[in-house]
Structure 1
Amino acid sequence: MIEPDIEQLCRRDSETAGHVRDILDRVGDKWSMLVISLLEHGPRRYGSLASDIPGISQRMLTVTLQRLERDGLVTRTSFPEIPPRVEYALSSLGETLKEPIGALARWAYQYKDEFAASRDRYDEARA
């Protein structure tokens, strides 16, 4: 399969550009990336996700999970138990994000010190 040149497609077709931007906005926001990263190791319950994502509010986690489910990246399974149990997992489409998000996370970790040094130099020059 020949990969399309995304830049050229987006320049010629504003609808394609809009779809690509929308998908990248969804996948690239900080909460979605963290949720996807946690789910790559298997299904998780809401409380487990909430405790493993520092700084996320209950509302933001709920909204993020709903958006990821709507976009077909996450599945939500309710179990008929008392008390009710719900698990979230990556869908088959969501599984395709494991490699690129993992690569981006490894890159960020590898270069975190360089980012910090660059920010410090920038801030010192502006002070």
Structure 2
Amino acid sequence: MKPTNEDTVEIARVLALWGHIMDDHELDRLGEVLTEDAVWDASAFGLEPAVGLEAVTAVLGAEGHARAHHTTNIVVTEGPGDEARVLSKGLGVVDGGTVISAVYTDELRHTADGWRISKRAIRLNN
């Protein structure tokens, strides 16, 4: 689907909300940004991909994640069917105040509740 300007704004809102949910430790709200069958791939960090909202929530609830999440440089492109592809950068603050830079490769699906991330892959920006 070719995203409209309105779609792009809504998708950017979803990506921004992700960071707030993570930083506020409100993982019970992940359904506001993820589909029920979402895939979260952090294999760059040595983790097995998590499939499904419950599994993703369990992984994200474990210790060791960044303390602050900031999404930048959002580029929304066309995807198949009711999907959009998104490439963005992320800055994370980890213990000790070190900042890491990451790249998110996302697939978002337009659902009855709005845009939701159906697949997120994260890798370190070297």
Give TM-score, length-normalised by structure 2: 0.26
- Select the structure with the greater relative contact order (CA < 8 A; seq sep ≥ 6): 2
Give TM-score, length-normalised by structure 1: 0.26
Higher alpha-carbon Rg: 1
